[in-house]
A and B are shown apart, each in its own frame.
Chain A
């Protein structure tokens, strides 16, 4: 299986200048919105039942980046979240742990302690999340904070203003700089805020830009705007990582985030993965869900499959 490597591949020279980068990104195949949305919708009609559903639910749980990104976050709240990530269903120890806990940089140390020894990763949104409107020094300091506090993964936002005004090289250089700070200590997830990029062509270009700059994951959104992860934008990003691997041999993960709340939704995303990039991406090293409320629905559906009965929200924990 190809593994993530730093940005040394046949496409390295396209980032030589703003104009070569622009030419490359604008030379990518276009996206027909109607066709993309139709494909995503048709995959959404797959009927997943019984054993396949049980498999999908456990897989989805293991892919959740259990997230709290509130101004009101406290150590107590983060510790509770960590405990839940490690043992999502206290009544059924066969439920898998989530992939990670995702917090602001100042909470990384607390989260790290809460999940110690469990294998659950700590992801931190750095780089002046969610707007990203700060000087590069500030963003890098934010990342440095997170990494030194023990973050295994850094979720960075791109400068959408620079992207939309066509300053692709600036966006590229920022990602490279953050990538350098992450070093080998942390995997880097690059968040595009697809709702703000607005067009599918932009999302494909951003995906390639992020991958060229050395992203380990490309991520749809912050969860803080109106339009977050959707089946079409995730399908498009899956196509991008697939094509990128075919050209460079480098495999990049995908993380839809925001707005995925139900098991039904999560299963639809897994079908997209399964039928677009296949089993190489069907584990939590390569695919994640950024979510705060999805886990409970997955657990309730899991209990229903196991017992034949639907118990209700008081049978799962509120954290």
Chain B
């Protein structure tokens, strides 16, 4: 939107990050070629520029990596907790020292704004390593028995929406509890995991404790199915999660799944309106809505619907979409052409089913994958866009008349990851939060994360918890 006060571009420098033309797999402390010699390209979603060529792990590579992790496990798990903590603290400090480099890298590979990688992702990544480093020598006090034991080799598969943060959520508790790790990053965002491999070397982490295997779904499937993996952790789509659950069923592997969501953001008529509008924006437009716990369903009390929607539309008109490396960008690129196509088709479906789309005036860059922030009004529970996870910057607006109706509608979904409550009345926050079937309920805020706070889902949003003391349980034999 043209204004008398135009901000000149303020791009973060790319020169702080040095991306090699190609990367291997990280197995047993070394970067190696894939056994079958396959490679794939990773592109920058905002420009479609090829960033690097990445080795693609196959079954033989999974074997090698799991074997390396198994060998490393003997020594790693036998270390005193205080020794493991030293490595984790060292990794956390290196992440802080290299945070600008990693933030730029993540923005290039993922397409999210530098503002988010710099101010949200990287501080949280470091915080998770610091937090779990602190637990490493106190496991006997965590409430899981007098001397809880690690499980062994953890096979971890992470998504592309928060590549480095999801890595931290997985690797930090696994290492703190004495497990070793084979991790598969997503095929569209492998770079920060490979840079993390370098950080492990810089920290002097013993060989084989962390192994990184970039690849597609088949790589992940081979890892999950590998007989010598003791623990599987997955964050991603519900569809893939169900596949994994079938694979793991009947084995002795422990499993945690953190899957899709369709979070309800409930705004009561006595809410702090201006802050609720900010919370709605954060809830659905943070990381272009590519967040499993996004507040993608706005449930607004009918009596304030018009006022709230006017405020929300006015606010959306001030969002700045464009070059994710610009420090003033609020909305970056969609992660891949495939994801853009999925968002587009669901939005078309929403329109065809009679919901009314609205977007602010917004110029989309000519190359790259972009989708304008969109909200749908006239949405009911019967609409596809109120049920299916869109995983994009698309908000469905529904209304309710009473708290009971709000709770009923919020819970009427196959998911149960997150929810938000906006009201100035404290007793209502407590009453409603107790009735919501969601792993996280935020009140008068949204999308706030902290390593001390457990995160995970109900129903088809998965099971198990990551973060906090609860996050240790998934990696301990309890």
Residue A38 CB within 8 A of the other chain: yes
The digit string for A264-304, where 1 denotes a CB below 8 A from any CB of B, is: 00000010001100110010000000000000000000000
| Beta-carbon contact of A29 and B5 below 8 Å | no
Residue A46 CB within 8 A of the other chain: yes
Nearest B residue to A34 via CB reads: B445
| Beta-carbon contact of B7 and A52 below 8 Å | yes
Q: Known interface pairs A31-B272, A31-B275, A35-B278. Does A45 touch B10 (Cβ–Cβ under 8 Å)? A: no
Q: How large is the interface on A (under 10, 10 to 19, 20 to 34, 35 or more residues)?
A: 20 to 34
Residue B279 CB within 8 A of the other chain: yes
Residues from chain B with Cβ under 8 Å of A270 in the complex: 5
CB proximity to A under 8 Å, residues B445-476: 445
| Beta-carbon contact of B272 and A38 below 8 Å | no
| Beta-carbon contact of B328 and A47 below 8 Å | yes
| Beta-carbon contact of A30 and B327 below 8 Å | no
| Beta-carbon contact of A282 and B4 below 8 Å | yes
| Beta-carbon contact of A52 and B275 below 8 Å | no
| Beta-carbon contact of A50 and B8 below 8 Å | yes
Q: Known interface pairs A34-B444, A34-B445, A35-B444. Does A49 touch B274 (Cβ–Cβ under 8 Å)? A: no
Q: Known interface pairs A30-B424, A35-B445. Does A55 touch B272 (Cβ–Cβ under 8 Å)? A: no
Q: CA–CA, A165 to B12, complex, Å?
A: 51
Q: CA–CA, A51 to B6, complex, Å?
A: 8
Q: Known interface pairs A47-B327, A47-B328, A279-B3. Does A35 touch B272 (Cβ–Cβ under 8 Å)? A: yes
| Beta-carbon contact of A279 and B5 below 8 Å | yes
CB proximity to B under 8 Å, residues A51-67: 51-53, 55-56, 59
Residue B128 CB within 8 A of the other chain: no
Residues from chain A with Cβ under 8 Å of B327 in the complex: 45-47
Nearest A residue to B2 via CB reads: A279
CB distance from B324 to the nearest CB of A (A): 14
Q: A278's contact among B3, B6, B7, by CB below 8 Å, is which? A: B3
The tally of residues in B whose CB lies under 8 Å from a CB in A reads: 24
CB distance from B405 to the nearest CB of A (A): 22
Residues from chain B with Cβ under 8 Å of A246 in the complex: 310
Residue B115 CB within 8 A of the other chain: yes
Residue A7 CB within 8 A of the other chain: no
Q: B279's contact among A35, A48, A50, A52, by CB below 8 Å, is which? A: A35
Residue B119 CB within 8 A of the other chain: yes
Residue A70 CB within 8 A of the other chain: no
| Beta-carbon contact of A36 and B275 below 8 Å | yes
Nearest B residue to A54 via CB reads: B8
Q: A274's contact among B3, B270, B273, B274, by CB below 8 Å, is which? A: B3
Residue A137 CB within 8 A of the other chain: no
| Beta-carbon contact of B444 and A32 below 8 Å | yes
Q: CA–CA, A46 to B318, complex, Å?
A: 13
CB proximity to B under 8 Å, residues A88-114: none
Q: CA–CA, A52 to B9, complex, Å?
A: 9
| Beta-carbon contact of A56 and B5 below 8 Å | yes
CB proximity to A under 8 Å, residues B257-288: 270-275, 278-279
CB distance from A82 to the nearest CB of B (A): 29
CB distance from A203 to the nearest CB of B (A): 13
Q: CA–CA, A45 to B113, complex, Å?
A: 13
Q: CA–CA, A47 to B119, complex, Å?
A: 14
| Beta-carbon contact of B10 and A47 below 8 Å | yes
Q: B119's contact among A45, A236, A239, by CB below 8 Å, is which? A: A45
Most A C-beta atoms less than 10 A away, residue of B3, B274, B279, B445? B274
Q: Known interface pairs A45-B115, A45-B119, A45-B327. Does A31 touch B4 (Cβ–Cβ under 8 Å)? A: no
Q: CA–CA, A53 to B275, complex, Å?
A: 28
CB distance from A180 to the nearest CB of B (A): 33
CB distance from A27 to the nearest CB of B (A): 9
Q: CA–CA, A29 to B273, complex, Å?
A: 6
Residue A39 CB within 8 A of the other chain: yes
CB distance from A44 to the nearest CB of B (A): 12
Nearest A residue to B274 via CB reads: A239
Q: B270's contact among A30, A35, A45, by CB below 8 Å, is which? A: A30
CB distance from A254 to the nearest CB of B (A): 15
CB distance from A70 to the nearest CB of B (A): 34
| Beta-carbon contact of B270 and A46 below 8 Å | no
| Beta-carbon contact of A55 and B5 below 8 Å | yes
CB distance from A269 to the nearest CB of B (A): 12
Residues from chain A with Cβ under 8 Å of B10 in the complex: 47-49
Q: CA–CA, A83 to B445, complex, Å?
A: 50
Residues from chain A with Cβ under 8 Å of B274 in the complex: 29, 31, 35-36, 39, 236, 239
Name 22 interchain pairs, CB-CB below 8 A, sorted by A.
A29-B270, A29-B271, A30-B270, A32-B275, A32-B444, A34-B445, A35-B272, A35-B274, A35-B444, A38-B278, A45-B115, A46-B327, A46-B328, A47-B7, A47-B327, A51-B6, A52-B5, A56-B5, A236-B274, A274-B3, A275-B318, A278-B318
Q: Which 4 A-B pairs have the closest CB atoms?
A: A35-B275, A47-B10, A30-B424, A32-B272
A residues at B contact (CB < 8 Å): 29-32, 34-36, 38-39, 45-53, 55-56, 59, 236, 239, 246, 270, 274-275, 278-279, 282
B residues at A contact (CB < 8 Å): 3-8, 10, 115, 119, 270-275, 278-279, 310, 318, 327-328, 424, 444-445
Known contacts A29-B271, A50-B8, A282-B5; 8 additional CB pairs below 8 A are A30-B424, A39-B275, A45-B115, A47-B7, A52-B5, A52-B7, A278-B3, A278-B318
